[in-house]
Structure 1
Amino acid sequence: MSDVALEVWGDPIDHSLSPAMHTAAYGFLGWDWTYGRRRVDECSFHAELTGLDAAHRGLSLTMPLKHAAFAAAAERDARAILTGAANTLVRTGDGWRAFNTDVGGIVAALGEQGIVSAHRARIVGAGATASAALVALAELGVGEVEIVARRPEAAATLVDLGHRVGVHVTTALLSEPAERRVDVTIATLPGGVSVEDSVAGALAATGGPLMDVVYGHWPTDLSRAWDRAGDSARGGEGMLLHQAVLQIRAFATGRVDEPLPREAEVVAVMRRALVGD
């Protein structure tokens, strides 16, 4: 496999760990692929996309481009359709096919925490990643999800999404989280967002294990509260790793359900690149 160019786009983008992981995987597999990064915002996205040459097989998309990527695609996988967001574009004969590999990344990361099923869960935050988290929880068989957000109106689309995936969704203000205990919490707040100690403590007291999708801003206010409560808290590196594995599958075959050659070894190589070993 040669003469294949891939990139990760977003704004900001300098912090992205994707080039290190992807480059490590391609080197291990013996693929002559390149993977770069490009700062692209919503205003410039369309022009940048249409300006790509045929050597560019695919793109990884981070914030704020996931909705724009979804809109630009001629085809979309089921997870992208459900969430209305795409973090992966793969070139096809007719344009681009969109995937949302964040969902599968969350499922796999929770599995590494020993969470393969649950009944009741909580999502902190109501942005694009919250949609992926909700679909992931539905795939794990969760029946009830509480969305805790700074603005309750922001969670309205998640209530509708819950209906579509068979999950009963309730909402609560971040300043006044419900006291009902849940089996797992997924935090989707952007890195650097502050949460008051009293609020974080209340969430930790009833939250079960925490998966905070943040990486590069660790520890977070929430993870500190979970530590004080003596419960498990992990950052977003696991999600980042496993969504990237699914992206590479899509880049290689156009499918996310077809494992890579020697995939367990590829994952180990990518994990080492992620932590800087």
Structure 2
Amino acid sequence: MSSTTKRAAVLGSPIAHSLSPVLHRAAYEALGLTHWSYDRFEVDESGLPGFLEGLDASWAGLSLTMPLKRAIIPLLDSVSDTAASVEAVNTVVFTEDGRRLGDNTDIPGMLAALRERGVDKVESAAVLGAGATASSALAALSRICTGPVTAYVRSASRAAEMRGWGKRLGVEVRVADWAEAAEALRAPLVIATTPAGATDPLAAEIPAGPGTLFDVLYEPWPTDLAARWSARGGAVVGGLDLLVHQAVLQVERMTGRAPAPLAAMRAAGEQALAAR
């Protein structure tokens, strides 16, 4: 490693509680990248162009969270097919000649987190919610689900959005009302993309011998649904699993070093959450 300082950071608003610095710094330490730094910056859509213009050649990459994942796209030189498929970039890598390359590690991060639990193919699935994470979930399911995906939503506009994403991503999406969400729990794979507390009432409805639950929340953890799911013998993938796996891919893209230290990054994330 040369003594040339390299910088990376996570941008978003709000950003104060982001775990990304903890994960990336743990990776740098394990990889011996002593001249790398990773910070967080409060940046909204209006401040994004100016922030990018102020970066110098020491910058290797950026992680992006809400509300910047779509706002960044017009400011990039190229966008990967994965990111374009959901119109969301969470990773920017700067090349030596100054080009800005956009990618999405949320989708392969989801797949890696599921694969770690032995899920690499399912015949059907259910998605709870219809926000930005739900579209990433559909993109991931397009690669492993051989049958229909049922999305449980609260409004007609959300239903239309999910059908649109399904058509775009090549996924057979069936839409059901949120009032019927207990039915989702019988699917072999359930992906919960809703805010904290939204699925708590469903915890009492989990059937015997449930399949796999992927709950994208990591704080508070476990959610009521995840705790009861595990108690009933089902496999659970959590939000920290997703966060770590997508960060592993970011580290590899930004540093050019692979494999990134998954175990060290997960341990650092667990320690940071326990201290909150």
- Greater CA deviation, 112-121 or 62-71? 62-71
Contact 1:152 1:171 in 2 (8 A): no
User: Which of 134, 143, 149 is the matching residue for 1:130?
Assistant: 134
CA RMSD of aligned residues (A): 2.3
- 1:184 paired residue number: 189
Distance 1:233 1:47, change over 3 A: same
Q: 1:66-85 counterparts in 2 under 5 A?
A: 66-85=69-88
Distance 1:183 1:154, change over 3 A: same
Deviation per residue, 1:167-226 (Å, 9 max, x gap): 100112222237373210111113x243352x4544x33963111111121122432452
User: Which of 269, 272, 275 is the matching residue for 2:267?
Assistant: 272
Q: Which amino acid aligns with 1:217?
A: P
**2:26 alignment partner, SS class:** helix
Contact 2:78 2:101 in 1 (8 A): yes
CA–CA distance in structure 1, aligned partners of residues 46 and 207 of structure 2: 42
Matched, 1:24 2:21: no
Q: Which amino acid aligns with 1:208?
A: G
CA–CA distance in structure 2, aligned partners of residues 100 and 237 of structure 1: 17
**1:175 alignment partner, SS class:** helix
- 1:216 paired residue number: 219
Alpha-carbon distance, 1:156 to partner: 2.5
Alpha-carbon distance, 1:109 to partner: 0.7
User: Which of 117, 126, 140 is the matching residue for 2:121?
Assistant: 117
Deviation per residue, 1:81-109 (Å, 9 max, x gap): 10110110112336411111000110011
TM-score, structure 1 normalization: 0.87
CA–CA distance in structure 2, aligned partners of residues 271 and 219 of structure 1: 16
Q: Which amino acid aligns with 1:96?
A: R
CA–CA distance in structure 2, aligned partners of residues 91 and 59 of structure 1: 8
Contact 1:214 1:236 in 2 (8 A): yes
Q: Which amino acid aligns with 2:21?
A: P
Q: Which amino acid aligns with 1:174?
A: W
Distance 1:215 1:65, change over 3 A: same
Deviation per residue, 1:122-141 (Å, 9 max, x gap): 11111111111111111114
CA–CA distance in structure 1, aligned partners of residues 87 and 165 of structure 2: 10
CA–CA distance in structure 2, aligned partners of residues 75 and 225 of structure 1: 44
- Greater CA deviation, 150-159 or 128-137? 150-159
Distance 1:3 1:76, change over 3 A: same
CA–CA distance in structure 2, aligned partners of residues 214 and 70 of structure 1: 26
Deviation per residue, 1:10-36 (Å, 9 max, x gap): 122121111111111112222221000
CA–CA distance in structure 2, aligned partners of residues 194 and 188 of structure 1: 10
5+ residue gaps in structure 1?
Answer: 254-259
Count of matched residue pairs: 266
Q: 1:1-16 counterparts in 2 under 5 A?
A: 1=1, 2-16=4-18
**2:252 alignment partner, SS class:** helix
CA–CA distance in structure 2, aligned partners of residues 87 and 184 of structure 1: 25
Matched, 1:98 2:102: yes
Q: Which amino acid aligns with 2:144?
A: L
**1:160 alignment partner, SS class:** helix
User: Which of 76, 87, 91 is the matching residue for 2:90?
Assistant: 87
Deviation per residue, 1:47-70 (Å, 9 max, x gap): 222222222221001122111123
**2:219 alignment partner, SS class:** coil
Contact 1:184 1:210 in 2 (8 A): yes
- Greater CA deviation, 91-100 or 35-44? 91-100
User: Which of 159, 173, 178 is the matching residue for 2:163?
Assistant: 159
TM-score, structure 2 normalization: 0.87
